[in-house]
Structure 1
Amino acid sequence: MMNYQITQWCAHFITEHVKEGDLCIDATMGNGNDTLLLSRLCGEKGHVLAFDIQELALAHTRERLEKENAAHNYELILDSHANMGNYAAPMSVSCIVFNFGYLPGGDHSLATRPDSSILALQASLGLLKKGGILMLCIYSGGDSGFEERDALLSWLKKLDSRKYLVIKTEYYNRPNNPPMPVLVVKQ
C-alpha cells in the first residue's frame, strides 16, 4: 500500500473484498468517492445502494458518477442509513461502507449522530452475507466531537466474537484526532 491516508487504507480492504456481481452499500455517500469505487468493483452485474440525508450529497455523487462514466449499477437514495434494511434483503450484501461525521464542504451541523448510526450498524449486520464486511471510517474531534466515536466503539466492542471479527486501527502519532478505520467481518 503506497498511500497511507485513511481513504486509501479503507479502499484497499474494499478492493480486496468486493467482486463482480456483488451488492454493496455506501451508507453515507457524501461526495460519492466510495459509491464510485463500489460501482467500479461490483461492475455491470452488481449493484450499489448509496444513502445520504442531504440533497447536496446526492447531487455531488450523481455529478461525480456521471463525470467518471460509472456503470449505471447504482441507486442514490435520499434517506437515513438507519433505514437501509428497507432496500436490501437480509444476508444479501457483500460490503457496506460508512464514513461517520459530516459532508466534506457541507453544513457541519448536519452530521451523523450516535443513535441513528448505531441503528444503521445494527441493520447492516443483518444485511451482510457470511464473509461480508463493514468498512467504517470514524471521524471525531472538532465539529464531530467524540460522543459518536465513543458510542460506536462501545457498540463494536460488544459484538459477539464468534460471529464478527472487529479490527480497529488508528494513526497513533498523528495530531488533531485523525480518523479511525475499523473493519468488521461477518464470520
Structure 2
Amino acid sequence: MKERISLVAKAHELIRARLRPGASAVDATVGNGHDTLFLLRQVAPRGRVYGFDIQRAALASAAAKINESALQACLTLINDSHARMLERIPKTDHGAIGAVMFNLGYLPGGDKAVTTRTDSTLAALSAASRLLGSGGIITIVAYPGHPGGAHETDRVGRWCKHLDCERFRVERIDAKANDEAAPRLFAVTRKRSE
C-alpha cells in the first residue's frame, strides 16, 4: 500500500525550482506562517512576500516566526481576503509574481469553523493567474475531507480545467491514490513567453 506523500513538501519543491532571490511571491493563506517563511527564504534579501489572511491570529503567528530582520524587511502581511489580491498588491508587481501558494481549509490549531470559502478562493485564483509572471507557479493544496472541503476542491479542479492551455500547464497530485477524501495538490504554471 502506497503511503501518503506530503503535498506541502511537494509544493515547496515545485516552487523552489522556480523562485529566485529578488522575486515577489504571495502566500494567499498565511495560516501559521510556515509557507510564508519558506517563501521569504527563497526571495530574500531583496524580494517581497505578500501574505494574506482574514484572521489576525494567523498573521501574528506568522510574524512571530519571522525573527530575522533580513526576512522581516521582505514581508508585507495583509489582514484581508486573498480575493482582494489585485487591489492590495502594488501594480508594479502585477504580471511579475513568481509564485502564489494556497493551503486551503482552516487554521491548524484555530477555529475549524473559519475556513477558506469556495467563492473567495475562486476569485483569488483568478487574481493570482493575472498576477503571475512568465514561468511563475500557483500551488493549491486542497483538503476535501473537511466540511465544505469536497465542494471547494471540486470547484478548484474545475477552475484548473478551464484555464487556457496555451498559457497555463496544470498538474494534479493526489496525496493517496484512489481516495477521494485525501488532500490533493494542483500546480498551475504560466508558460514562458517567447
- For normalisation by structure 2, the TM-score amounts to 0.89
Which amino acid is the alignment partner of residue 119 of structure 2? D
The code of the aligned residue for 2:106 comes to Y
Does the CA contact (< 8 Å) of 1:40 and 1:70 recur in 2? no
Distance in 1 separating the partners of 2:80 and 2:189: 25
Q: What does residue range 36-185 of structure 1 map to in structure 2 within 5 Å? A: 36-66=37-67, 71-72=71-72, 73-86=74-87, 87-89=89-91, 90-173=94-177, 177-185=181-189
The answer on whether the counterparts of 1:36 and 1:70 sit within 8 Å (CA) in structure 2 is: no
Q: Does 1:14 align with 2:15?
A: yes
The structural deviation recorded for 1:175 is: 5.8
Aligned-partner SS, 1:143: coil
Distance, in Å, in 1 between the alignment partners of 2:177 and 2:70 is 37
Runs of 4+ in 1 over 3 A off after TM superposition: 172-176
**Compared CA separation, residues 50 and 160, structure 1 to 2 (3 A):** same
Q: Partners of 2:5 and 2:184 in 1: how far apart?
A: 12
Aligned residues: 184
Unaligned runs of 5+ in 2: none
Percent identical among aligned pairs is: 35
User: When the two structures are superposed, what TM-score results if normalisation uses the length of structure 1?
Assistant: 0.92
List per-residue Cα deviations over 1:102-145 (Å, max 9, x = no partner): 11111111111110000000001110011111011111213343
CA positional deviation for 1:5: 1.5
Q: CA RMSD in A?
A: 1.8
Q: Which runs of 5+ in 1 are unaligned?
A: none
